[in-house]
Amino acid sequence: MRFTVGAFVVVLLSGAVSAEAQQSDPPSPVSLNSVRMALQNLQQSSIWLPKVPQWVAPGPKRWGLLTFVPPGANGEMVKIVLPVGQLVSNAAQAFSNARLRRAERKARDEVLRTLKDFQAQPLAR
């Protein structure tokens, strides 16, 4: 906004200086139209709005397991959220997977031992 006002003042001052230099010539409508177009272009291109307004609180930010949430009450600096339920669920799933792998390995070893015992038996005639 300051840039637009400043540009407008500069255009007015330059017009005043050129008007003093050309006191006998009346201002031409072409130059007024070009000044208007220049001002409209300046106003359109100089407006910059952030994508998120400043009065809107930022959303939660994740950093590994931790989630940083904006403060919700007076006196809070930062709120850190740790997904305890997800951690417990992942630990229980890992424990269950380990038991399953152990049981499969034990069953495979038992089948191999039984097969070796069967092959080691002498043939009955």
Q: Which of 16-20, 111-115, 120-124 has the lowest mean pLDDT?
A: 16-20
Q: What angle, rounded to 10 degrees, do the helices at 2-21 and 29-46 form?
A: 160
Q: According to the model, what pLDDT value does residue 17 have?
A: 47
21 versus 96: which is more confidently predicted? 96
42 and 71: one domain?
no
Q: Give the span between the Cα atoms of 99 and 96, in whole angstroms.
A: 5
Q: What is the pLDDT of residues 36-50, one digit of tens each?
A: 777 777 655 555 666
42 and 75: one domain?
no
67 and 97: one domain?
yes
Full residue range of the structural domain in which residue 34 is found? 2-46
18 versus 80: which is more confidently predicted? 80
pTM: 0.42
Q: Give the span between the Cα atoms of 70 and 57, in whole angstroms.
A: 7
76 and 104: one domain?
yes
Domain count, the chain: 2
